Homo-oligomer: A and B are copies of this chain.
């Protein structure tokens, strides 16, 4: 079936000139099979890290605007090279920056959010039977400032572009075969899924599955974009993320997320909770799996944002909203994701019991309709995942 496909190739897939050439081979084959293609690319391999290192050599605290100016050089290089490699294969291609593609974002440098995609020049290129190469991760604000989207930005660009172009599919190329029931590097019995519904993929991604960025999957769910996860380095079947139908899946995965930490806050007065959420929203600080009991609220936060959380919480404490807080960077979330959990405490209890039998201490945990998440010691996370996978996914 020939159609309009948006593909996305991450940094690993374009890390060296030879890999760019094999990506070009893959695209050329699809092009010659009659597909129209818009291809989103990330910066080559470690380019972004190298640019950040350069910035640190000239400045103690680089302004975010200039970091965006700097980092967007990365995709500019990879997209021009990919376009050249295609042209060398007789495939007409045009590369476009985020700005040229009309990827309009808000003005939050280094973590901008896409507001809309104009895509005129991309459509025009497709109309001329050219492959459109689009810079991932970058956009332009209403007042014409260059922005970047933050982590997972290129996935998000690809899905948003697929939605804007009403593409038939969005293919995310990466260095793994697809979506697994646990990280196959640590759990030998992990199995790959052929299809998964958007909602369960959102849960897996949010809880540390790593293969896709949560924002991109949320966007795909919202616009009902059919999403594929495919290995760019070898031939393999991949995983298709589909619009949910009538079927149920049961437990689909066990994850842990070492990029998260656990935070517990003691509130001093009734308005404290909304002051806390306000501070989080203002600082764009993620709050994951919050739970509340007896004037204490606890949830997971990004390890990266630990410093920002501390200063926000100290301010709340000095303003009298909270009496104390405990930020535990040595506790991480472990989650069981699925769609057939009972609506009472039984599912939560089953997970807690399984952890206890494996000798893993569990401090806090909660259940939503699609996931159960427990804080466990970081040192025990891998044991916990293995054991939970065994209990919930193997043998029956």
State the A residues within 8 Å of B (CB). 17-18, 20-21, 24, 51, 54-55, 57-63, 65-67, 69-70, 72-74, 76-77, 79-85, 87-88, 93-95, 97, 100, 121, 144, 146
Contacts and interface: CB of A to CB of B under 8 A. Distances in A.
Contact of A72 (B61, B76, B81): B76
B87 A59 contact: yes
Nearest to A76: B73
Nearest to A71: B80
Classify the interface of chain A: helix, strand, loop or mixed: helix
Given A20-B58, A62-B87, A76 B70 contact: yes
B70 A87 contact: no
A93 B59 CA distance: 13
B69 A79 contact: yes
A66 B86 CA distance: 11
A83 to B, nearest CB: 5
A76 B55 CA distance: 12
Contacts of A76: 69-70, 72-73, 76
Name, among A62, A63, A93, A100, the residue most crowded by chain B CB atoms within 10 Å (CB to CB). A63
Contacts of A69: 76, 79-80, 83, 95, 97
Given A63-B84, A70-B76, 17 more contacts: A17-B54, A17-B57, A55-B80, A55-B81, A58-B84, A58-B88, A59-B81, A62-B87, A66-B80, A66-B84, A66-B87, A66-B93, A69-B79, A69-B80, A70-B77, A70-B81, A121-B144
A78 to B, nearest CB: 9
A302 B61 CA distance: 46
Contacts of A146: 97
A85 B59 CA distance: 5
A69 B98 CA distance: 13
> In the assembly, how many copies of this chain are there?
2
B84 A55 contact: yes
A6 to B, nearest CB: 20
Contacts of A18: 57
A83 B95 contact: no
Contacts of A85: 58-59
Contacts of A61: 87-88
List the 8 shortest-distance A-B pairs measured between CB atoms, nearest first: A70-B80, A17-B57, A59-B84, A69-B80, A73-B73, A58-B85, A62-B84, A59-B88
Nearest to A72: B76
A258 B203 CA distance: 65
A88 to B, nearest CB: 4
Contacts of A94: 65
A80 B100 contact: no
Nearest to A140: B100
A54 B77 contact: yes
A58 B81 CA distance: 7
A65 B83 CA distance: 10
A219 to B, nearest CB: 27
Contacts of A54: 17, 77, 81
